[in-house]
Amino acid sequence: MVYHLPALLKQSVDGLEIRPGGVYVDATYGGGGHSAEILRRLSGGRLIAFDHDDDARVNVSEDIRFTLLTQNFRFLRNNLAYLGVEEIDGIIADLGVSFHQFDTAERGFSFRFDGPLDMRMNRRGPVTAAMVLNTFTEERLAGILYRYGEITNSRAVARALVAARSESPFAVTGDLLMSVKALVPPKSENKFYAKIFQALRIEVNCELESLKEMLVQAGGMLKSGGRMVVITYHSLEDRLVKNYMRSGLFTGESEKDFFGNVNVPFRVLTRKAVVADDEEVERNPRARSARLRIAEKL
């Protein structure tokens, strides 16, 4: 089984504009595709990768210039400081769930398999999808579904979840699908389930908060002229990345100094997000939703 096939590989690593002796970070190691390409372009330098999923270690590179940290990228600055790294020349993050995670039933990331309702990227983490479904209030569940899954009938879905768990606790993905079956919009079954699973996964892994923390820390550690390259897969992530690159803030509104001059930390190099072409989508259908943005530190 292929662990992961990275989307927009050439475009994203080209976007780093590799300095042969530079220090780079791959914030989402996964199957190691981006790291391998970065190492190929470095003549010296150093590459430090993060992935809090222990399974990623099966792909570890033996290159002496490479270090893999089994850590969440939200702790970027402290982990790099521990390694003696205070500045970096570039960082890349591919925020998609890996093929391996989606296609391993016991991880619970996909509604295509009947597996445990887990969804933890870090399997040492304390919160699972089953815990969220079985213990969160109806109001809180509705909020998660609306914010993270953009589900318009989130209150009705939350009501159905609470009613179902009163009969029997949620344990496997099939329990979840059955509990909301009556609410599936006509001809949109897969999309509807995907939104629910996305919302739960984001909550379980604190994905948006972790992303914001990583972006701010990376922005502070980039050298002038250093590049930030991020691939997102849904609008919530993409909006955060776009706003941060444009203004240094997640609201998208730039700060001004005392004289009214706009302070921006980056030069945005992608006016519109870069997307996969038809050839790549045919080869890797999951690349269809990938959105690449690149910025350079001023």
Model confidence over 115-155: pLDDT tens digits? 999 999 999 999 999 999 999 999 999 999 999 999 999 99
Start-end ranges of CATH 3.40.50.150 in the chain? 9-99+210-297
pLDDT surpasses 60 at 1 = no
What tens digit of pLDDT does each residue of 262-293 get?
789 999 999 999 999 999 999 999 899 999 99
Tens of pLDDT, residue by residue over 30-76, are: 999 999 999 999 999 999 999 998 888 887 889 999 999 999 999 99
Q: pLDDT at position 226, please? A: 98
Residues 205-227, mean pLDDT to the nearest whole number: 98
The highest-level CATH class for domain 9-99+210-297 is alpha beta
The distance of Cα 177 from the centroid of its chain, to the nearest Å, equals 24
CATH 1.10.150.170 residue spans of the chain: 108-205
Residue 89 has pLDDT above 90, yes or no: yes
Location of structure tokens 């996969």: 276
Global pTM reads 0.94
The pLDDT score that the predictor gives to residue 101 is: 82
Rounded average pLDDT over 106-119: 93
pLDDT for position 61: 85
Q: Is 253 exposed, middle or buried (0-12, 13-18, 19+ CB in 10 A)?
A: exposed
Mean pLDDT of 100-105: 80
C-alpha dihedral, 88 to 92 to 95 to 99, nearest 10°: -130
Rounded mean pLDDT of the chain?
94
CB-neighbour burial class of residue 50 (10 A; exposed 0-12, middle 13-18, buried 19+): buried
CA pair distance 251, 180, nearest whole angstrom: 34
CATH number at 108-205:
1.10.150.170
Confidence at 3, pLDDT banded by 50, 70, 90: low
